[in-house]
Structure 1
């Protein structure tokens, strides 16, 4: 299944399923239309959230301020909003196929 992305107001939104306390930080594919992200940080005091934003910003070649968690701050399922890129560019930079 492909990553489901939504363009709205010049921003791109997509869902992420986060595994905290993983052995390594990586984008581990797509499952159920959501991007699977593994981070080594624990889900304490926002550390895993910061690690997710840092990893995605790095992969998307954007400043961290352009990647925001819009929902799910206290859940493994999150919605991410990216400013400054279109859906095709997000998919390309994450090396995912368009749906």
Structure 2
């Protein structure tokens, strides 16, 4: 299953803000991440945060699109409840 995420990097804390409609990507999960968008730190922190939030191993949350974009697409196992 693919999960589209709109990331807000360099935030005070990491938290899920909820679902929203984005004109560029459709329905996305908006997530604040405390890590800065430098050298992949925000991407790694987002993957780790999503894995913990979804109660999945980190290896099951794979970034498939959007390495340098604020809108990212992750592959997660089917049946995962967001």
TM-score by length of 1: 0.74
2:52 to 27, 49, 58: 58
| SS class of match (1:79) | strand
- Give the aligned partner of residue 44 of structure 1: 38
- Asked if 1:17 is matched to 2:22, the reply is no
The alpha-carbon deviation at position 55 of structure 1 amounts to: 0.7
| SS class of match (1:28) | strand
- Asked if 1:29 is matched to 2:18, the reply is yes
Q: Which 4+ stretches in 1 moved above 2 angstroms?
A: none
User: Gapped runs of 5+ residues in structure 1?
Assistant: 1-11, 95-99
| SS class of match (2:39) | coil
Aligned equivalents of 2:14, 2:64: Cα separation in 1: 21
User: Gapped runs of 5+ residues in structure 2?
Assistant: 22-26
Count of equivalent residues = 77
| CA-atom RMSD in angstroms | 1.0
| SS class of match (1:70) | strand
Rg comparison, structure with higher value: 1
